[in-house]
A and B are shown apart, each in its own frame.
Chain A
């Protein structure tokens, strides 16, 4: 079934997103969907196309644009991730990514707040979002909680124990996520260092990465971080991810050498990826991602 309400709302939201970023001096860019190599990530499986890959994120190409000297960029594009299908997942989905030079993850969090408040006003829902029986106050100060604190508050074990038992994701989904973004949106911050392959480590605590996830009403909306711009360290992290992929019996593909070369000229920066379909879900009151796209893979 095609839900026309979701499609109308989606179109208005896309325009509002563009207006917001253009107004803040961001340049809209387009980078190729089909690329010869990806940032290796242990749990993101790409689709292949004639020996190349469909992008799982525009991250590498966009960072190369930053390294080439464009300070603020954004992109609205399709991304592809094999096997991801559920109420909140489509194997082909729409991503918003934006990157800003001379910024860090705190600046991004502030910009997320400004973005959602702007969109709510543009959609005639100033101040408050209502989703699945929840009222989320966008105007109040948004909650910021570290991963370690969140585990202490909500999970039956510490984050260190969850990692040691290889149960971090189960614990996060089962015990932590249901509490996030309920009164105000929540930034879940400072992920364990091992869980931010492209993020800079915190200068005050090297056991955590300057990475956050934004949650609204338990729905994970965006993932942002202070970018790692050290090419030597980045190569070491990529090698570790590639090894993890090999252990799963998959081919990690080639090392993204051109990207690593580009890091030598990349300024300090921060970048974020936001799931546009989920953003539409929030504004449309939809509890299933199928209600905010024209067609699902099964409907074709």
Chain B
């Protein structure tokens, strides 16, 4: 009961001093706001990058083209060999005959239909193919060469190059964003330290008397810590709105895909709520760290 009474008092004092030093509070709040918007962007970007990297990796298939003259026995032999390779996901092995490939292509386009009809089976450029997925994407290159060495295998293709480059680009963007976020957080912490310092010096007399009449250090410090948390909380309002509505608008504008069908964005719900929650928590923690620093430095009690 006592702790609630004291807490009530602290919260009242904290709000009072946020209002009393409004201009400086506003400076801290705006700084937190900017920081948190960038933090929110960084969070959303990195979650999305992680998400589609995983998606791409899951979909990464090795396509194995067999020689034109492969017989049915050869084809079965290849499958048998494929099953022996460790990194190959056994369940994913799929066979497509020339005929199936042809039909599929003809379905897709009329141009193909006429062209493909002119070839008979022996001279067709289409080949029988196997499609397999791997268990460990990092070893995909090694597995591919292993497969290439098998009898009757003509060539092997997997999505090397383009995918790698894309993932690399996104991860360097991510790193830069983290750097900016850390710098901004530090600036914000210092601004909050200054804000709270002003509050402390404005209330020096009161603090002295509190100390004389037997207020514990905890009682004296808590209002300032809460003040920092309030600054953080107020600073996170705009970023939260930005996260929820911004991402929703972004998602709808691009119809859930970024640039290509390859990059699928994370569904807004519940993603935006988690992100908003994280943003609020970061805001409060940054505010708390700042005010704790100020209390330690300027409140020699």
Tell whether A and B belong to one assembly: no
By a beta-carbon cutoff of 8 Å, the part of chain B in contact with chain A is none
By a beta-carbon cutoff of 8 Å, the part of chain A in contact with chain B is none
